Every structure is written in C-alpha cells, then in structure tokens.
C-alpha cells in the first residue's frame, strides 16, 4: 500500500480533473474557491469539474464536489484478515499532519472463505494506521478526516465575497 501512496501527489497532479476552470485565490493550504463549467455548471448547480470519458473519446464525464460544513479528506481501500485476529491498514505517512477527527468505516466482502457475516471492529487512527479485528475475511475501508474548520455561518458584514453567482468564495 505504501508504494501506491508514495506516488499519490504525483497521481493527483497528473489528473485533468484537478485543472479548475475557475478558482479562488491561493490560500495557505492551496487553492480556495470553486470550480465550474459555465455559470451554473452543466448539472444546474454545484461545483463541477470535467474529465475525459474513460471509454468514449467523444464524451466527457461531469462530476460534482461533495459539500459539507468542513474541509475534509478521505482515503479508501481493501484489506484482508488472514490470521483470524486482525490486520493493520497503513495510511500515507503524512495523514496525521494533514487531518484529524478520523472516522473509519468497514464493509465486509462476502466470499467463499467467509460465508458468515461477522462483526468487524477497528481501532482509532493512530500514527497513520489503524487495525481491523475479526476472523479471516476481506473488507473495504474508508477513512474520513477533518482537514480544516470553516466558519459555517459568518455575518455578511464581516466577510468580503469574491466571484459571481453560485461560484463565490470568502476572501
């Protein structure tokens, strides 16, 4: 897993989906603001971005950003317990320095080895890793973390808005 995440920043930098059509000013943690295709985006509203269609060269895919009252990050993958006790999932080495307040979700994968459903349990994320406990089985995992806090309901008189229409950001 560490070899995959070793190239994580290189992978993200090579993706066209990260080339924003419009964006806010450079903030202390990188670009801030919204990206869009047109004033309302092709889906009507929301922050959208465009990537090449993976199987039809004549099409694009339009995806939208997930929104919430915090700036978050997520990591996901697949794991396997092979010793009837636990396995350790290692996250990228920088995760504890980037985010906090982690939530881990585990979903068991049904297969021939583990025909019965079991109650998988996991530890907290500590030192960029966590343990999943249970009998031998495969599972999917998601880790969500809080990267930055946002002032969710600022008073209009205390902020300076930039941008136009639904694609505005606070300076």
Range of the domain at 85: 71-149
Listed in sequence order, the residues at least 6 apart from 171 whose beta carbon sits closer than 8 Å to its beta carbon are 25, 159, 160, 161, 162
Q: In the chain, how many domains are there?
A: 2
The encoded tokens of residue 43 equal: 């889906």
Residues 88 and 29 reside in one and the same domain: no
Summarize pLDDT for 73-102 with one digit per residue, the tens. Answer: 999 999 999 999 999 999 999 999 999 999
Residues 89 and 144 reside in one and the same domain: yes
Summarize pLDDT for 58-74 with one digit per residue, the tens. Answer: 998 888 888 788 889 99
Residues 79 and 31 reside in one and the same domain: no
Residues 76 and 123 reside in one and the same domain: yes
Residues 102 and 138 reside in one and the same domain: yes
CA 49 to chain centre: 15
Residues 51 and 78 reside in one and the same domain: no
Residues 132 and 84 reside in one and the same domain: yes
- What is the model's pTM? 0.64
């Amino acid at each position: 897993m560490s070899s995959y995440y070793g190239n994580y920043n290189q992978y993200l930098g090579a993706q066209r989906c990260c080339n924003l059509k419009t964006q806010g000013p450079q903030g202390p943690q990188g670009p801030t603001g919204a990206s869009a295709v047109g004033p309302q985006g092709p889906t009507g509203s929301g922050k959208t971005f465009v990537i090449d269609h993976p199987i039809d060269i004549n099409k694009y895919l339009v995806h939208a950003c997930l929104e919430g009252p915090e700036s978050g990050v997520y990591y996901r993958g697949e794991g396997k317990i092979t010793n009837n006790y636990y396995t350790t999932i290692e996250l990228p080495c920088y995760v504890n320095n980037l985010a906090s307040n982690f939530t881990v979700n585990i979903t068991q994968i049904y297969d021939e080895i583990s025909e019965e459903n079991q109650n998988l349990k996991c530890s907290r994320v500590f030192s960029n890793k966590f343990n999943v406990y249970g009998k031998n089985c495969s599972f999917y995992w998601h880790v969500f973390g809080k990267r930055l806090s946002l002032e969710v309901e600022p008073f209009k008189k205390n902020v300076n808005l930039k941008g136009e229409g639904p694609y505005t950001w606070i300076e």
